[in-house]
Every structure is written in C-alpha cells, then in structure tokens.
C-alpha cells in the first residue's frame, strides 16, 4: 500500500475516496488532532473530504489547511500542536494520479514501522469508531502558508539584487516566491496560478519539462532559475545560462556547503560517485540508504548528520526540519548564489573528474514480478550484488542499479562510470536485460 513516499497512484483505481476514508479512520484511532492539506489536483477536494470524515469518525479533530504545499503540511503538524498530518497529494505524478502522505508530530514522514501498523490495522479491521456524540470536530486554519513564509524570511539574510525566474508549474509553491520577494529578490514567475490539470508542463520538473524556464532565465538576465513539482517538496535549478543543473551536481553543492570535517550526509544508493568524492574532500562521510525521502530522513535524524538528499530534487537539513522542504531548499540555493557566485561556476568547481551517469525508466505491469526475473538473471552473472534497495552491481570501472519505483509502475535503471564508453556499455547491458524481462512478461 505504501511506496517509498506514501500512497500514490491513479485516482479511481489505486487511490479512491474509500481508501482515503479508511486511512483517515486508521490514523484517527490514536490521534487527538490531525492536520489535513491538499495540493491543487482536481480530485483533492473529494479525497480530503473522505480523509476528514474517517478521522472524525474515529474521534479525531481535524484542522483543514486548504490547498497548501506538502512541506507546509509537514511543518503545520508541530506548529498547530497536532499529533499527525495527512497531505493529499500526487506530488510529481501525472494529474490523473493522487495520493496520501502521512506526517508525524516531529515533522517527519511516517516511517516503515508506522505505515506497517496502519496497514495491519486496516487488514485486521482493528479500528474503533467513536460514539455518535464523540465524533471529532473540523476547523479551518488558512494562515499556515503565510506562517511558512514568515519562518523562511526570518531564517535568511536579504537577497537584494538577486533576480530569480521561478516555474511553479501551476502547483502549490507560492511560499517560495513570496519569501524570496520579501527578502528583496526580484522574482519572475511562470505558471504561478493553481491548476490541477498542470496544463503548462508535467508536474515533475526535469530538463525536458522546464524548456520555458531554461529559455526565460537568460532572456531576463536572471541569476538563477528555480522550479517545484506540484506540491513543492522538490526543488530543481537552472543556472544563469539556462542550463539545467543535474540532480547529482545540486546534491553535491548542497552537501559540500553543509559539511564540516567529521559531519555525515545521507544519500540513496542510486547517487553518483561525485557526491561521495566531494563530501570526502570536505572531510565528511556519506551513508547510503534505500531510495525514498522517508529513508533519507530516517538516516539524517541520527546525530552527526547535517544534510541528506536525493538527486530527484529532495533536500533535507535535519536542524531545520526532517521533511523535504522545497521552499527552504529554494532559499538555500538563492543564498548560495548570493554568497558564492554564479551557479554555473559553482557546478564547475565540483571538479573536472568525468562522471557519466545514464538513467531511464521502463514501464511494466508488474514491477515485483519483473524484479524477481531480473534478480535471477543478475545473480547468475554477478557474485557481488548489493540488495539494500533494488539490485546494485559494482564493477571495476563503474556500477549499475536496477530497482522498482516505489510510486509508479516502473523499473528504474541507473549506470555510472568515469569513462563515457564504459557507462554506455553498462547501461546498454542492463537495459537490454530489463527490456527482455518486460517483453517476456
């Protein structure tokens, strides 16, 4: 039921009002107060109503936040003294999808033990409904986005003279724009109005979907281009020349900025060797986790960790929050450019070592079945396989990873080597294997 980042899938099939009602009941059993927010998707109202009904039927009071970003939901749990939070969001998935992500009072997403208990509770039917006169109440709290802006403004020095182009993709990222503006930056927005159909571009911000932003930044003479997905837990960037900054480079920049000698950062197993090299050069160390912001958050909650992230655009500074906050990340990157100089120069400063990374996703109807067949073939060929998350094979010249997506019916394939030809060979080899399994299935 729960993938690497909550429940997510097609509305009407995987994600239904009945499911939202049941999740609300299960969370409400041991909660007094729960905050509930939603992204801008067209299905959000129905699913949020169902979640609220389930929570109140179990006796929990509900604080409705309205249409807000997922980081705002996560922070609001603590700000409003609630026991849990539920974000109704499909994150970077297509407009036809939606989902549910659960948050604890610490601002951290429910971990595996907590989600497992929710599933067991549903399977056992172990849900107590409140008496007719003990149903929970519902109230609105429409000011949390403004509170989020105020918090960010208080955490950063002014950005006077900075010009930003910001692609919101018709999602809920307005907090970033308002905070930058209040800090003195000149902000030009693209597709800043809510529209749950995401007509301007796909919700997931990538080099391909951000063509308008890449053209706008140099046309305006902006210092940086920034973009969120639909619920603003992700943040990606375009440098001042209009060049998309790949996720591993951005991860390395954030990590290098955060690390002092002896500090640690957490990254998933599909992260480029670039990050390890940069962090170790700064005197820090890297810990590898399964893919998913929940797993990164679990790691950075331990002492000694100063940062964690994923090349997908998820960034966590544990001293600030254990939730991926794309708004905070946007201001951190603006701060880095203001303090250190053009983003293109910072990326170049990561070093001249060539890291060639190839990534793709292969659609499949049954990812678990496909991974079983892929595992059989790989174990017949390679002796040393890391199964922390998916199947990772390290070779003399590079590595590759095959894993099932935790949020979509996809097999993710990554290959990396310092030599481009070697990276291509590894990538072609593993892609042929995955495609063969998919076709055979």
Number of domains present in the structure of the chain: 3
Residue 349 falls in the annotated catalytic set: no
Asked if pLDDT for residue 406 goes beyond 90, the answer is no
| Mean pLDDT value of segment 88-100 | 95
Using the 3D structure, point to which of 109, 142, 175 is the last residue of a domain. Answer: 142
Bridge partners for 309 per DSSP: 315
> Cβ distance 200 to 227 under 8 Å?
no
User: Do 180 and 298 fall within a single domain?
Assistant: yes
| Mean pLDDT value of segment 408-436 | 89
User: Do 368 and 388 fall within a single domain?
Assistant: yes
Using the 3D structure, point to which of 83, 115, 142 is the last residue of a domain. Answer: 142
Q: Is residue 199 part of a domain?
A: yes
- Cα separation, 212 vs 397, in Å, equals 37
Using the 3D structure, point to which of 315, 350, 385 is the last residue of a domain. Answer: 350
> What pLDDT, on a 0 to 100 scale, did the predictor assign at position 408?
75
User: Do 302 and 379 fall within a single domain?
Assistant: no
Q: How confident is the model at residue 441 (pLDDT cuts 50, 70, 90)?
A: low
**Paired tokens of 274:** 């670039």
> What pLDDT, on a 0 to 100 scale, did the predictor assign at position 368?
85
| Mean pLDDT value of segment 415-426 | 90
> Could you say which of 91, 176, 249, 405 is catalytic?
91
Q: Is residue 122 part of a domain?
A: yes
Q: How confident is the model at residue 395 (pLDDT cuts 50, 70, 90)?
A: confident
Q: Is residue 230 part of a domain?
A: yes
Q: Is residue 316 part of a domain?
A: yes
User: Do 223 and 345 fall within a single domain?
Assistant: yes
User: Do 278 and 379 fall within a single domain?
Assistant: no
Mark 301-318 as b/e (b = at least 16 C-beta within 10 Å): beeebbbbbbbbbbbbbb
Asked if pLDDT for residue 241 goes beyond 60, the answer is yes
Segment 215-229, tens digit of pLDDT: 999 999 999 999 999
Q: Is residue 256 part of a domain?
A: yes
Average the pLDDT over each of 73-77, 117-121, 156-160 and give the range with the smallest value. 117-121
> Cβ distance 404 to 411 under 8 Å?
yes
User: Do 214 and 132 fall within a single domain?
Assistant: no
Q: How confident is the model at residue 5 (pLDDT cuts 50, 70, 90)?
A: confident
User: Do 133 and 170 fall within a single domain?
Assistant: no
Asked if pLDDT for residue 3 goes beyond 80, the answer is no
Q: Is residue 2 part of a domain?
A: no
- Cα separation, 53 vs 354, in Å, equals 54
> What pLDDT, on a 0 to 100 scale, did the predictor assign at position 438?
65
> What pLDDT, on a 0 to 100 scale, did the predictor assign at position 437?
78
Q: Is residue 65 part of a domain?
A: yes
**Paired tokens of 390:** 């998916």
| Mean pLDDT value of segment 362-381 | 89
Q: Residue 271 contacts by C-beta under 8 Å, 6 or more apart in sequence?
A: 248, 251, 286, 288, 310, 311
Bridge partners for 11 per DSSP: 15
> Cβ distance 331 to 402 under 8 Å?
no
- Cα separation, 441 vs 437, in Å, equals 6
User: Do 368 and 336 fall within a single domain?
Assistant: no
| Mean pLDDT value of segment 346-366 | 85
| Mean pLDDT value of segment 358-381 | 89
Segment 176-187, tens digit of pLDDT: 999 999 999 999
Question: Any idea what the CATH number is for the domain that residue 395 is in?
Answer: 3.30.310.50
Mean pLDDT of the chain: 94
Segment 12-46, tens digit of pLDDT: 999 999 999 999 999 999 999 999 999 999 999 99
Q: How confident is the model at residue 409 (pLDDT cuts 50, 70, 90)?
A: confident
> What pLDDT, on a 0 to 100 scale, did the predictor assign at position 388?
86
User: Do 46 and 72 fall within a single domain?
Assistant: yes
Question: Any idea what the CATH number is for the domain that residue 172 is in?
Answer: 3.40.120.10
User: Do 28 and 91 fall within a single domain?
Assistant: yes
User: Do 214 and 310 fall within a single domain?
Assistant: yes
> Cβ distance 101 to 111 under 8 Å?
no
Its domain, for residue 419, covers: 356-440
User: Do 225 and 289 fall within a single domain?
Assistant: yes
> Cβ distance 20 to 98 under 8 Å?
no
Q: Is residue 1 part of a domain?
A: no
> Cβ distance 191 to 165 under 8 Å?
no
Asked if pLDDT for residue 354 goes beyond 70, the answer is no
């Amino acid at each position: 039921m729960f993938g690497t980042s909550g429940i997510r899938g097609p509305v009407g099939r995987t994600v239904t009002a009945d499911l939202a009602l049941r999740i609300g009941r299960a969370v409400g059993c041991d909660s007094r107060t729960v905050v509930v927010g939603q992204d801008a998707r067209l299905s959000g109202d129905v699913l949020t109503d169902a979640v609220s009904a389930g929570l109140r039927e179990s006796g929990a009071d509900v604080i409705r936040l309205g249409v807000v970003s997922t980081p705002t939901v996560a922070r609001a749990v603590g700000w409003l003294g609630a026991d849990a939070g539920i974000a109704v969001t499909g994150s970077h998935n297509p407009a036809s999808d939606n989902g549910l992500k659960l948050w604890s009072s610490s601002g951290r997403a429910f971990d595996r033990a907590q989600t497992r208990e929710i599933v067991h509770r549903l399977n056992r039917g172990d849900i107590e409904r409140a008496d007719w006169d003990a149903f929970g109440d519902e109230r609105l709290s429409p000011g949390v986005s403004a509170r989020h802006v105020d918090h960010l403004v208080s955490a950063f020095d002014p950005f006077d003279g900075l010009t930003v182009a910001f692609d919101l993709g018709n999602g809920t990222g307005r907090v970033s724009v308002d905070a930058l503006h209040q800090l003195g930056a000149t902000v030009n927005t693209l597709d800043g109005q809510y529209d749950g159909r995401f007509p301007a571009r796909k919700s997931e911000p990538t080099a391909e979907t951000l063509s308008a932003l890449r053209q706008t930044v140099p046309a305006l003479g902006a210092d940086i281009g920034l973009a969120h997905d639909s619920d603003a837990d992700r943040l990606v960037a375009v440098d001042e020349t209009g060049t998309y900054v790949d996720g591993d480079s951005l991860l390395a920049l954030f990590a290098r900025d955060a690390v002092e000698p002896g500090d640690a950062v957490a990254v998933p197993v599909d992260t480029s060797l670039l990050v390890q090299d940069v962090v170790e050069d700064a005197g820090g160390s890297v810990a590898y986790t399964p893919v998913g912001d929940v797993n990164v958050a679990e790691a950075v909650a331990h002492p000694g960790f100063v940062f964690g992230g994923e090349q997908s655009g998820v960034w966590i500074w544990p001293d600030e929050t254990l939730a991926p906050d794309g708004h905070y990340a946007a201001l951190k990157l603006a701060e880095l450019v203001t303090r250190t100089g053009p983003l293109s120069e910072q990326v170049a400063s990561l070093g001249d070592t060539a890291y060639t990374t190839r990534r793709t996703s292969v659609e499949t109807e049954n990812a678990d079945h496909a991974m079983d067949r892929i595992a059989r073939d790989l174990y017949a060929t390679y002796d040393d396989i890391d199964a922390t998350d998916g199947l990772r094979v390290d070779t003399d010249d590079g590595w590759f990873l095959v894993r099932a997506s935790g949020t979509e019916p996809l097999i993710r394939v990554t290959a990396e080597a310092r030599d481009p030809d070697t990276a291509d060979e590894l990538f072609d080899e593993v892609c042929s294997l995955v495609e063969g399994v998919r076709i055979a299935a």
